[in-house]
Amino acid sequence: LQLTFDEVVRADSFDLTQITLQDAVDGSGSSHTLTGGNVAAAATEQATVTINLLSSDVNAVKALLFAVDTASTFLSLTGSTCTDMEAVTPNANNAVAAAAAQQAAAHTPDATAPELVSFTLDLAAGTLALTYNEPVRPATTLAVTKLTLQSTADGSGVAHTLTGGSLATGSEGSQIFTVRLQLADVSAIENDAALALDRDSTFLSATAGAVSDVEGVPM
């Protein structure tokens, strides 16, 4: 996140929790107030500062499905966000009200593919829970047939590619969601004497396009 002020500001004066990202100029839509981060180091104090956002804040914004372009990216901040370079009595910044937020001058889209972090298979319930490293769009982009359960990590054992399924829990912007498996897939897995018997014989692979993130980047 890059901010440009009308004069040089003191980098070590920033309180990033005073900054809010929002999807409308008047604050009527979704918003997220930063919980932390840090100001990137620079050789000298400048009027333009770069803020390294926390991944939790980035994911929170993605989950709310905004800040995908300049038209959905606005910023407000309180008058306690930073100060100027005045040595004796530093002057605090002017606030930018949520009801009259500043629109982003530029927006760089996310180009990093989402990654599967973990999964839980429950054959008794007939479900497969998936956890990704960022919010995704399972309701509209999930391709269950691109998921394969296998007995070894390297694929040298037996495997079963799912033939279908439906979204049981989760929605657009979820990082964790559950797939309800088809009965035929559950039966095929249960009838395989070497597959999904325990944690050591239960692995999951996914081909490209199994799901996409909120900006449409496929895994």
Report the candidate in 174, 200, 3, 199 with the shortest Cα–Cα distance to residue 102: 3
Per-residue pLDDT of the chain (219 residues; tens, 9 = 90+): 999 999 999 999 999 999 999 999 999 999 999 999 999 988 788 999 999 999 999 999 999 999 999 999 999 999 999 999 998 999 999 999 999 999 999 999 899 999 999 999 999 999 999 999 999 999 999 999 999 999 999 999 999 999 999 999 999 999 999 999 999 999 999 999 999 999 999 999 999 999 999 999 999
Please tell me the predicted confidence (pLDDT) of residue 44. 80
Widest Cα–Cα separation across the chain: 77
- Whether the predicted model's global pTM rises above the 0.75 cut: yes
Q: Round to whole Å and give the CA distance between 170 and 116.
A: 15
pLDDT at 33: 98
Q: Count CB atoms within 10 A of the CB of residue 99.
A: 11
Q: How far apart are CA 88 and CA 56, in angstroms?
A: 36
- Amino acid 127 reads T
pLDDT for residue 135: 97
User: What b-and-e string marks burial along 127-164, b requiring 16 or more CB atoms within 10 Å of the CB?
Assistant: bbbbebbbbbbbeebbbbebbbbbbeeeeeebbbebee
